[in-house]
């Protein structure tokens, strides 16, 4: 069991309140996922030549200043680093195909959780309230976010196996359910040069969809191919630079509820995590039907 | 008992506000503290699980909002009105009484229930009436895939459409459906409506407060081929 949470704001003036509005949604899914939590927030977009990287360190006393000095020494360009405990967001001019291999080689204990121009990711073990507090979830600003509360079934309880998973740039996925053929997907993707960070089943789905999109599918087409290729139970919620997308498998064993008003689209595993949203009593509320792809644009 | 002490009771009506009181107080009151209470109102249910589960008394329960999983599960005798949507497994295992959902119901509504009446005024999701054992279910809207799967006894009335595999592996439950059926499940088929069907259906629609003409419905029941396992059938029924 896990909890999924998504919130997309329709009015730019609400963006400062994104985290504040979504915090009760995340906390409301604690019983579905008490062991880890994570969230991806889509902020203002960096210019085309800039990139940001969400990094996860093994401890809270990590030497980020040393990391920054080493970055400048290696690339000869400036970097901004915003540190929140064992996470940091690095903003720089260097592309992912240079930064990722460099981090892996020079700082093997750091994980690059995300790359792109909009998306920041924080995820860790602990209760959703603890994780949200640790990274000041309620202060998040942005157009949309994807969050998750985890009750692990398919792999160990560690920060890197918490959701959201990411692949490519500005793409993330959270999952409630379990896949029965993640290793088949891996064996299909690894010969194409796609590397995996963990043994988690959800990561296979995330990398599969991102691969399909690099092959030219739009997100909807990629999800439709997934109906054929991904076996198992799932409600997937995905975030891209300007979209939230939601899909449930043919048997719809894993729940999802959507509430929509003039101000927002809110998605959760259960209504109880939507109950504190403003104007929820007048929201249009529905359950997404199986194998239908729902996409909302920010 | 805490629930008894904290319920606000006036002229036989007790009110619980789940924004202020834990669910356990409500359910303990419903199980052990009713006394002469005729009606219990539940405010701010906000999708809580197990609201009014396991009630065994002829009390009226009114839920003023959306309920979560297993609302009115295992109900006996009570009349439970949900003025909102219901989560998975509403009225599962009910044996008697009435449960009425004004909005939509999530998956497995009325699952494995032995008796009573479940009315869902909106749509019901997948597996509505799965393994039902005597309950009557009336759905004002449509039902999702695999509804009445392995349904053993009772009636399922669908005023809208039905999804895939309606009545798969049916036993003796009967389905009345008014709209389109995407597909029938294994061993389910349409049968002519008899006078007794029209009569039974008219009575169910009346109890549910729905005004459809019974003549618009078709009857789906078991072919009973699966009652006798045939190894040569190659899994096709």
Residue at token pair 């198992």 = A232
Q: Chain A: nearest CA to B194, how far in angstroms?
A: 34
pLDDT of residue B228: 86
The CATH superfamily assigned to A2-45+126-297 is: Aminohydrolase, N-terminal nucleophile (Ntn) domain (3.60.20.10)
- How far is the C-alpha of A245 from the C-alpha of B110, rounded, in Å? 31
Bridge partner list, A236: A175, A247
Task: Kindly report the average pLDDT of chain A as a whole number.
Answer: 97
Angle between helices A219-229 and A201-214 (to 10 degrees): 130
Cβ count near A136 (within 10 Å)? 12
- How far is the C-alpha of A48 from the C-alpha of A113, rounded, in Å? 20
CB contact under 8 A, B68 and A285: no
CB contact under 8 A, B85 and A270: no
- How far is the C-alpha of A249 from the C-alpha of A236, rounded, in Å? 9
- How far is the C-alpha of A10 from the C-alpha of A97, rounded, in Å? 33
Q: Which tokens sit at B221? A: 């029941």
Do the Cβ atoms of B166 and B220 come closer than 8 Å?
yes
Bond preceding residue B70 cis, omega within 30 of 0: no
Question: Does residue B1 register a pLDDT over 80?
Answer: no
**Range A199-224 average pLDDT:** 97
Q: Chain A: nearest CA to B222, how far in angstroms?
A: 23
Report yes or no: A288 at the B interface, CB cutoff 8 Å: no
pLDDT digits over B191-218, tens only? 999 999 999 999 999 999 999 999 999 9
**Range B87-91 average pLDDT:** 98
Query: What is the location of CATH 3.30.70 in chain A?
Result: 46-117
The catalytic residues of A are 2
The interface residues of chain B toward chain A in range 20-49, judged by CB-CB distance below 8 A, are 44, 46-49
**Range B136-156 average pLDDT:** 98
Query: What is the location of CATH 3.60.20.10 in chain A?
Result: 2-45+126-297
Nearest-CA residue of chain B relative to A285? B85
- How far is the C-alpha of B213 from the C-alpha of B89, rounded, in Å? 29
Report yes or no: B126 at the A interface, CB cutoff 8 Å: yes
- How far is the C-alpha of A1 from the C-alpha of A34, rounded, in Å? 10
Question: Does residue B8 register a pLDDT over 80?
Answer: no
Total count of domains within chain B: 1
Cα radius of gyration (chain A): 18
Nearest-CA residue of chain B relative to A275? B46
Report yes or no: A291 at the B interface, CB cutoff 8 Å: no
- How far is the C-alpha of A26 from the C-alpha of A37, rounded, in Å? 9
Region of B25 (left: φ > 0; alpha: ψ -120 to 50; beta: rest) is alpha
Q: Chain B: nearest CA to A276, how far in angstroms?
A: 8
> What per-residue string of b and e applies to A267-289 under the rule 16 or more CB within 10 Å gives b?
bbbbbbbbbebeebeebebbbbb
Question: Does residue B2 register a pLDDT over 50?
Answer: no
- How far is the C-alpha of A4 from the C-alpha of A46, rounded, in Å? 27
Longest Cα–Cα distance of chain B, Å, equals: 67
Nearest-CA residue of chain A relative to B147? A251
pLDDT digits over A107-137, tens only? 999 999 999 999 999 999 999 999 999 999 9
pLDDT band at B5 (very low <50, low <70, confident <90, very high): very low
- How far is the C-alpha of A273 from the C-alpha of A267, rounded, in Å? 9
The interface residues of chain A toward chain B in range 216-275, judged by CB-CB distance below 8 A, are 250-253, 255, 270-275
- How far is the C-alpha of B77 from the C-alpha of B156, rounded, in Å? 20
pLDDT band at B233 (very low <50, low <70, confident <90, very high): confident
- Tally helices (H) and strands (E) across chain A: 7, 16
- How far is the C-alpha of A63 from the C-alpha of A65, rounded, in Å? 5
Question: Does residue B6 register a pLDDT over 70?
Answer: no
By the 10 Å C-beta count (0-12 exposed, 13-18 middle, 19+ buried), A17 is classed as: middle
Do the Cβ atoms of B94 and B72 come closer than 8 Å?
yes
Q: Chain B: nearest CA to A112, how far in angstroms?
A: 37
- Count CA atoms within 13 Å of residue A182 on its CB side: 18
pLDDT of residue A138: 96
Backbone angles phi, psi at B206, to 5 degrees: -65, -45
| CATH of the structural domain A46-117, one choice from 3.30.750, 3.30.70, 2.30.30, 3.40.50 | 3.30.70
Per DSSP, helices labelled H in chain A are 18-28, 64-75, 96-106, 128-134, 182-189, 201-214, 219-229
Report yes or no: A64 at the B interface, CB cutoff 8 Å: no
pLDDT digits over A33-59, tens only? 999 999 999 999 999 999 999 999 999
pLDDT of residue B232: 83
pLDDT band at A258 (very low <50, low <70, confident <90, very high): very high
Determine the residue among B47, B120, B124, B182 to mutate to test chain A binding: the one whose Cβ has the most chain A Cβ atoms within 10 Å: B47
Do the Cβ atoms of B55 and B36 come closer than 8 Å?
no
Question: Does residue B4 register a pLDDT over 70?
Answer: no
Report yes or no: A282 at the B interface, CB cutoff 8 Å: no
The residue among B200, B184, B176, B199 whose CA lies nearest residue B237 is B184
Q: Chain B: nearest CA to A7, how far in angstroms?
A: 18
CB contact under 8 A, A272 and B145: no
CATH at residue B17: 2.160.20.60
CB contact under 8 A, B104 and A287: yes
CB contact under 8 A, A253 and B145: no
Expressed as residue numbers, the domain containing B150 is: 2-233
């Amino acid at each position: 069991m896990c909890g999924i949470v998504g919130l997309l704001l329709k009015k730019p003036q609400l963006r400062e309140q994104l985290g504040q509005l979504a915090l009760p949604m995340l906390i409301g899914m604690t019983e579905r996922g008490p062991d880890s939590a994570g969230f991806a927030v889509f902020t203002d977009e960096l210019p085309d030549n800039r990139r940001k990287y969400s990094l996860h360190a093994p401890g809270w006393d990590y030497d980020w200043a040393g990391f920054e000095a080493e970055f400048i020494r290696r690339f000869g360009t400036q970097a901004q680093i915003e540190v929140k405990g064992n996470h940091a967001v690095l903003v720089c001019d260097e592309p992912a195909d240079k930064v990722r291999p460099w981090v892996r080689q020079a700082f093997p204990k750091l994980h690059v959780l995300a790359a792109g121009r909009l998306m920041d990711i924080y995820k860790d073990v602990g209760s959703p309230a603890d994780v949200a507090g640790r990274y000041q979830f309620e202060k998040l600003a942005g157009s949309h976010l994807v969050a998750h509360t985890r009750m692990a079934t398919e792999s160990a309880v560690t920060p890197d196996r918490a959701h959201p998973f990411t692949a490519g740039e500005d793409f993330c996925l959270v999952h409630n359910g379990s896949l029965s053929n993640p290793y088949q997907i891996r064996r299909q993707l690894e010969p194409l040069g796609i590397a995996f960070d963990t043994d988690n089943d959800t990561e296979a789905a995330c990398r599969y969809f991102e691969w399909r999109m690099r092959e030219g599918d739009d997100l909807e087409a990629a999800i439709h191919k997934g109906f054929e290729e991904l076996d198992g139970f799932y409600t997937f919620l995905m975030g891209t630079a300007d979209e939230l997308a939601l899909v449930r498998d043919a048997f719809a064993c894993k729940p999802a509820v959507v509430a929509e008003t003039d101000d927002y689209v809110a998605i959760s595993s259960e209504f109880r995590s939507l109950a504190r949203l403003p104007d929820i009593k007048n929201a249009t509320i529905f359950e997404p039907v199986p194998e239908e792809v729902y996409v909302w644009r920010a | 008992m805490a629930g008894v002490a904290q319920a606000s009771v006036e002229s036989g009506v007790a009110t619980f506000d789940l924004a202020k009181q834990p669910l356990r107080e409500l359910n303990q009151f419903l199980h052990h503290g009713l006394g002469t209470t005729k009606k219990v109102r539940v405010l701010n249910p906000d999708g809580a699980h197990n609201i009014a589960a396991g009630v065994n008394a002829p009390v009226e329960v009114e839920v003023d909002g959306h309920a979560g999983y297993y609302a009115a599960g295992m109900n006996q005798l009570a009349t439970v009105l949900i003025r909102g949507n219901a989560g998975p497994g509403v009225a599962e295992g009910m044996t008697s009484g009435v449960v009425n959902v004004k909005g939509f119901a999530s998956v497995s509504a009325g699952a494995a229930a032995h008796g009573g009446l479940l009315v869902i005024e909106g749509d019901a999701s997948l597996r509505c009436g799965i393994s039902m054992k005597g309950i009557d279910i009336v759905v004002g809207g449509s039902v999702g895939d695999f509804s009445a799967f392995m349904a053993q006894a009772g009636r399922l009335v669908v005023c809208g459409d039905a999804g895939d595999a309606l009545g798969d592996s049916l036993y003796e439950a009967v389905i009345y459906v008014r709209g389109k059926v995407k597909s029938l499940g294994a061993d389910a088929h349409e049968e002519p409506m008899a006078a007794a069907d029209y009569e039974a259906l008219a009575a169910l629609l009346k109890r549910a407060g729905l005004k459809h003409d019974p003549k618009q419905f078709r009857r789906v029941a078991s072919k009973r081929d699966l009652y006798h396992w045939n190894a040569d059938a190659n899994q096709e029924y």
